């Protein structure tokens, strides 16, 4: 897919970080008008960036060179796709865990003075031929890494994530939620112009769900599929509302306790720790592995204070409030196909009730409920996102679903699930 995120190479953001370990992310940023060409790979803090920079020439200067570069880019894109998936392909589930999320998030949120930007995790690999574009819109953390468990499987799309940096790295023009809505909307319109016959998927997690609904309401003529994980459109009814004024008045010295509070509210640490624990092990051995995984995970929870500092947390709560209000005011204008994933143990939002409200309000909405999961649904065990998308018949490569050409072979993880959960 000749994507504006792929064929037009955008400026890099992480040039001020120290080199640590092998690349895990390929990063590009989306500015307003200043596009730069990046070359000569380098590895910085687990992020693949580019050392050399060369400004793109204007349309007047490019001439025939512009045409040849487009042909070369198109050939490079075509050579870097998969024709089909082998049966029982490895979807990578369990190879990355929540610990990888914290390792990468700590690096990606470091101040760099740049705007919100798109990036693609390197582990995604090659997409399938003619696959649709999937844009991930993150929750309150803003790192864009909330799909770390699903990167390899979702790499069969043309998969790109949005990262919104911390409060102290942003200029005033990037503060309003309307700015983020326009950023996503512009990207969607450019991608649609390049491939008008393919759907564009917007995967919104919590706050990102509000952004996805807002963009869809402003783009009724574009073929969009919304995948919403515990969307924060119910923020006005959150059971945590009385606590938010306290956060603003809380002394900086006490803010270090907030991450532990948030982690217990937002997700189930046991579910997060179970991701790479083999389900077929004997109960004693399985409990031992779970204990080791949980023990190694708990020290990472303090990393929330670095990922969401106090000023950033207050700013993002304000963003969440305004984005929720705007999305709710525009629900009547959403024409897109919608899949809502809701949790039964969400201690942050009334997600179960909200899913039913959205199903009754939106024109084309399907709900899948996960009764044992918390707010951070996509970081917990037992959720194979690609499996859910296939199981609800939401995966398609054109305006109409073709049950033959859109068929995806079952993965090894899906086979193990059937073996363990269905047949015991």
What pLDDT is stored for residue 43 in this prediction?
35
What pLDDT is stored for residue 242 in this prediction?
73
Whether residue 316 contacts residue 207, with contact meaning beta carbons closer than 8 Å, is answered with: yes
Q: What are the distances in angstroms from CA 8 to CA 30, 188, 411, 418? A: 10, 14, 33, 42
pLDDT digits (tens, 9 = 90+) for 310-366: 777 777 888 888 999 999 999 999 999 999 999 998 988 999 999 999 999 999 999
Model-level pTM?
0.77
Element (H, E) at 159: strand 158-163
Q: 80-422 — its CATH code? A: 3.40.50.1820
Intra-chain end-to-end CA distance of the chain, in Å: 41
pLDDT in tens, the chain (424 residues): 444 444 333 333 333 333 233 334 454 444 443 333 333 233 333 333 333 333 333 333 344 444 444 444 444 445 567 778 888 888 888 788 888 888 888 777 776 667 788 988 888 888 888 899 999 999 888 889 999 999 988 988 877 888 876 544 443 444 567 888 999 999 999 999 999 999 999 999 999 999 999 999 999 999 999 999 999 999 999 877 777 777 777 776 665 666 556 665 566 666 776 776 776 667 777 767 767 766 776 666 666 666 777 777 777 888 888 999 999 999 999 999 999 999 998 988 999 999 999 999 999 999 999 998 888 899 888 788 999 999 999 999 999 999 888 998 899 888 888 877 777 5
Cross-strand partners of 163:
117
Q: Which of 173, 161, 164 is nearest to 123 (CA)?
A: 161
Tokens at 341, concatenated: 């994933």
CA–CA separation, 99 vs 92, rounded Å? 16
Cross-strand partners of 135:
160, 202
The dihedral region occupied by 63, where left means phi > 0, alpha psi between -120 and 50, and beta the remainder, is left
Within 13 Å and on the Cβ side, how many CA atoms surround 334?
30
Contacts of 265 (CB under 8 A, 6+ apart): 240, 347, 348, 375
pLDDT digits (tens, 9 = 90+) for 233-264: 999 998 777 777 777 777 766 656 665 566 65
Domains of the chain, by residue range, sit at: 80-422
What pLDDT is stored for residue 330 in this prediction?
96
Whether residue 207 contacts residue 140, with contact meaning beta carbons closer than 8 Å, is answered with: yes
What pLDDT is stored for residue 348 in this prediction?
86
CA–CA separation, 154 vs 142, rounded Å? 19
CA–CA separation, 383 vs 373, rounded Å? 9
Cross-strand partners of 50:
41
CB neighbour class for 242 (10 Å; exposed up to 12, middle 13-18, buried from 19): exposed
Burial 157-189 (b: 16+ CB within 10 A, else e): bbbbbbbbbbbebbeeeeeebebbbebbbebbe
What pLDDT is stored for residue 366 in this prediction?
97
Tokens at 369, concatenated: 């409920």
């Amino acid at each position: 897919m000749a994507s504006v995120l792929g064929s037009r190479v955008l400026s890099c953001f992480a040039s001020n970080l120290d080199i640590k370990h092998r690349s895990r992310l390929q990063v590009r940023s989306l500015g307003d008008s200043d596009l730069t060409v990046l070359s000569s790979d380098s590895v910085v803090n687990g992020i693949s960036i580019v050392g050399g920079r060369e400004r793109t020439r204007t349309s007047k200067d490019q001439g025939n060179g512009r045409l040849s570069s487009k042909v070369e880019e198109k050939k490079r894109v075509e050579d870097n796709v998969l024709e089909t998936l082998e049966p029982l392909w490895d979807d990578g589930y369990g190879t990355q865990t929540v610990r990888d999320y914290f390792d990468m998030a700590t690096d990606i949120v470091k101040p760099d003075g740049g705007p919100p930007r798109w990036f693609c995790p390197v582990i995604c690999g090659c997409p399938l031929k003619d696959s649709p574009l999937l844009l991930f819109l993150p929750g309150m953390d803003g790192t864009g890494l909330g799909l770390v468990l699903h990167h390899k499987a979702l790499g069969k799309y043309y998969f790109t994530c949005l990262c919104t940096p911390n409060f102290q790295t942003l200029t005033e023009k990037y503060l309003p939620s309307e700015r983020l809505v326009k950023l996503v909307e512009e990207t969607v319109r450019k991608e649609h112009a390049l491939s008008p016959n393919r759907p564009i998927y917007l995967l919104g997690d919590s706050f990102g769900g509000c952004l996805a609904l807002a963009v869809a309401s402003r783009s009724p003529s574009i073929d969009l599929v919304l995948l919403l994980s515990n969307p924060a459109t119910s923020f006005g009814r959150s059971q945590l509302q009385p606590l938010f004024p306290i956060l603003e008045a809380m002394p900086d010295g006490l803010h270090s306790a907030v991450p532990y509070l948030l982690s217990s509210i937002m997700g189930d640490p046991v579910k997060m720790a179970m991701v790479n624990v083999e389900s077929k092990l004997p109960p004693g051995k399985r409990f031992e592995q779970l204990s080791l995984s949980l023990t190694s995970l708990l020290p990472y929870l303090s990393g929330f204070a670095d990922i969401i500092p106090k000023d950033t947390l207050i700013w993002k709560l304000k963003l969440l409030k305004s984005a929720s209000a705007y999305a709710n005011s525009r629900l009547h204008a959403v024409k897109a196909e919608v899949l809502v994933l809701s949790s039964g143990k969400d201690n942050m939002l009334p997600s179960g009730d909200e899913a039913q409200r959205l199903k009754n309000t939106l024109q084309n909405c399907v709900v899948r409920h996960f009764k044992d999961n918390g707010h951070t649904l996509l970081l917990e065990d037992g959720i194979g996102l690609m499996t859910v998308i296939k199981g609800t018949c939401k995966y398609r490569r054109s305006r109409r679903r073709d049950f033959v050409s859109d068929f995806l072979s079952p993965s090894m993880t899906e086979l193990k699930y059937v073996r363990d959960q269905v047949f015991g």
